[in-house]
Amino acid sequence: MSRPSKILDPLLQKLELMGTLDVEDRKAVLALPARVVRFRALEYVVREKDRAQNCCVLLDGFAVRHKMTGDGGRQIFSINMRGDLADLQNSFLHIADHHLQALTDLEVALIPVSAMVDLAFSRPAIGRAMWSETLIEASIFREWTLNVGRRDGRTRMAHMLCEFALRLELAGLSARDHYVLPMSQEQLADALGLTSVHVNRTLKSLAEDGLVTRTRRSIKIEDWAGLAAQGDFDSAYLHLGLAEA
């Protein structure tokens, strides 16, 4: 921890999108005690029922959060990337209620919950930013539920391609209209509540309609308005406005 200021930079960036921090706030965030840990693709960072002691900031790579039914069905409800505070949920409530799994090779910073909570209450600006982050995540969950519960396969897929584009752009990881999906079609299926076979056909059909082109996992959005219309996508639920206000 010779230069802690470097390590937690992604967290600071994320929090600054949520609210205004002053110099002292920034210092305090970067001074959080953090331990860097690496995981290989598909390894579990946290498992359901674990007693979580740390929360977990993603520094590099992608992870998913998911739950499984008794008969092995899997539902992914969140894809996390650089800067995401992936496990505030689990750790604050002591017992993890879902899995956190690496999608690609992953680098995370583990921060003791107690340090995180103390900071939130000693520095209200930080507390508010963290709270906002939590609420925005809840909003994304709601949209995800609407997606899975009330939209057909094509619409779901288009919706998720739009959401992912915007979130990658916000995190500064790629352009809105051209990115690489860090997941297999089977994992996409688990996110959308479909089967991998159907995901495949759906992607093909979106491509045939000229909305996207793709080579392997790379997605190029050819017609943003068309894709957003097909996906019934309105970015309001991401509360991107917070970043500007």
Binding-site ranges for DNA (CB under 7 A): 152-154, 184-186, 193-198, 200-201, 203-204, 216-217
The listed partner (DNA, its own copies, none) that binds 200, CB under 5 to 8 Å by sort, is: DNA
173 CB contacts (<8 Å, ≥6 apart)? 81, 82, 179
Cβ distance to its own copies smaller for residue 29 or 78: 78
The listed partner (DNA, its own copies, none) that binds 26, CB under 5 to 8 Å by sort, is: none
Which sign, positive or negative, has the C-alpha torsion 220, 222, 224, 228? negative
Residue from the set 4, 31, 33, 131 that interacts with its own copies by CB under 8 A: 131
Cβ distance to DNA smaller for residue 32 or 206: 206
R_g over Cα of the chain: 18
Q: How far is the CB of 188 from DNA (least distance, A)?
A: 8
Residue from the set 6, 71, 208, 215 that interacts with its own copies by CB under 8 A: 71
**Checking DSSP bridges between strand 63-68 and strand 54-60, what pairing results, if any?**
unpaired
Q: Residue 132 interacts with its own copies (CB under 8 A)?
A: yes
Q: CA–CA separation, 56 vs 86, rounded Å?
A: 6
Q: Residue 143 interacts with its own copies (CB under 8 A)?
A: yes
SS3 17: helix
Q: Which span sits near its own copies by CB under 8 A: 32-40, 62-70, 162-170, 201-209?
A: 62-70
Cβ distance to its own copies smaller for residue 96 or 206: 96
Long-range contacts of 63-68 (CB under 8 A, 24+ apart): 63/100, 63/101, 63/102, 63/103, 63/106, 63/108, 64/100, 64/101, 64/103, 64/183, 64/187, 64/191, 65/98, 65/99, 65/100, 65/101, 66/98, 66/99, 66/101, 66/190, 67/97, 67/98, 67/99, 68/99
The listed partner (its own copies, DNA, none) that binds 196, CB under 5 to 8 Å by sort, is: DNA
SS3 149: helix
Q: Give me the amino acid identity at 126.
A: I
Q: Which neighbouring-strand residues pair with 107? A: 38, 60
> Residue count at the site for its own copies (CB under 8 A)?
53
Cβ distance to its own copies smaller for residue 2 or 121: 121
The listed partner (its own copies, DNA, none) that binds 47, CB under 5 to 8 Å by sort, is: none
Q: Which positions lie near its own copies, rule CB under 8 A?
A: 48-49, 65, 67-71, 73-75, 77, 88-89, 92-95, 97-98, 117, 121, 124, 127-128, 131-132, 134-139, 141-146, 148-151, 155, 192-193, 232, 236-237, 239, 241-242, 245
